[in-house]
Amino acid sequence: MSLATSYEVNRVRGPFNATFFGLMGPYIEWNVRHHKRRVFAGLPGAVVEIGSGVGANLRYLRPGSTLVAIEPNTAMHRRLRSAADRRGVRLDLRDSTAEQTGLPDRSADSVISSLVLCTVSNPAEVLTEVRRILRPGGTFRFVEHVAAPAGTFTRGLQRALRRPWAWTFEGCSCERDLAKALRAAGFTDVELTPYRLHSPFITFNTQIAGVAHA
């Protein structure tokens, strides 16, 4: 299914990012695995994921589950399809965007994302869309990287590197206060934990993981 959106696949960076996340996925996963295990525990048999990439989160779904994957970068699709086949997950792959998924109101029990709200053009709009498609009582489970506290070395580096980082990773910003955006989005409750990784990718180390309840 295809929706008219403002997302355009870049001929160079689209495939570059698919290769990058294919190669670096296991390293990123190793760093965030404890947080993902906690927030993705007990997912239902049908899940919507925004920005699925090459399938980093398929391992948190039970074989036989269905994943509605919203992934506008079509360069990711081949790897995502193979990963879903390997994991025994039924894939309903859509090239729409998280801002405009095209899914019906109140149709999902669970929406998940990892490292996506940093990249979408408008996180508030995406969170409104997530709330729209969640059933009352449904959950949005997330693992995201966020801005470091003001005045810290990490925050300075996030500012200094913002342009090359955004260029390389297709609009990704390390300067977003996503905890604030999540709390302002109108969920009935937001539980989140801030933490710090110790990877060499310093600008990416300040993160949050949690569950927002519709």
55 within 8 A of 27, measured Cβ to Cβ: no
Minimum gap (Å) between residue 146 Cβ and ligand SAM: 14
70 contributes a contact to ligand SAM by CB under 6 A: yes
Choose among 213, 67, 46: nearest CA to 136: 213
CA distance to 52, 124, 183, 213, per residue, from 177 (Å): 22, 11, 10, 19
Member of 68, 76, 130, 133 binding ligand SAM (CB under 6 A): 76
Amino acid in the structure at residue 146: V
Indicate the helix (H) or strand (E) that contains 147.
none
Pick between residue 148 and residue 150 the one whose CB is nearest to ligand SAM: 148
- Look up residue 211 and give its two tokens: 């569950």
Indicate the helix (H) or strand (E) that contains 81.
helix 77-87
Diameter of the chain measured on Cα atoms: 47
Minimum gap (Å) between residue 151 Cβ and ligand SAM: 27
Member of 72, 123, 138, 210 binding ligand SAM (CB under 6 A): 72
Q: Which of residues 49-68 bind ligand SAM (CB under 6 A)?
A: 50-53, 56
Q: Which of residues 110-169 bind ligand SAM (CB under 6 A)?
A: 114-116, 119-120
Per-residue mark of binding to ligand SAM, 1-40 (x: CB under 6 A) = ------x-------------x---x---------------
Indicate the helix (H) or strand (E) that contains 211.
strand 206-213
Q: Which residues bind ligand SAM (CB under 6 A)?
A: 7, 21, 25, 50-53, 56, 70-73, 76, 97-99, 114-116, 119-120
